[in-house]
Amino acid sequence: MLNEKQHGLLRDILDSAKVIRAYLDGVSHTAFMQNSEKQDAVLRRFEIIGEAASRLAPETKTLFPGLPFSQMRGMRNIIAHDYGDVDLDQVWRTASGPDLDVLIASLRSFFDSVEGSCEI
């Protein structure tokens, strides 16, 4: 059973992934590339995802063998420390592609399965 902190970190990842989807709802690649506010908002949510992923315990990560926690952390590090090297096309592909769908589905499934057995 995961502790409250681990649940909170997973919830932060899920919530940020869902918010990224909401930010990009109806937004084309061209519109994203021309809108610095959308870029900043999406980048911030990826920072949150990466920071939360870096704080997950190894035992928590083993519950999600298909999720790329090290890449989440790596993306966050690039955004935070090498911000001049951020590839916005890669950010777009990640934000609008199937990887985010897999992340959301995995975490939704997890929370659906534990709902009622712990406080979330």
Residue 59's φ and ψ, nearest 5 degrees, are -65, -35
CB 53 within 8 A of CB 72: yes
CB 54 within 8 A of CB 80: no
The rounded radius of gyration (Å) of the Cα atoms in the chain is 15
Beta bridge partners of 118: 115
What are the tokens at 68?
């790329």
Positions annotated as catalytic residues are: 76, 81
Distances (CA, A) of 95 to 29, 30, 57, 117: 10, 14, 25, 31
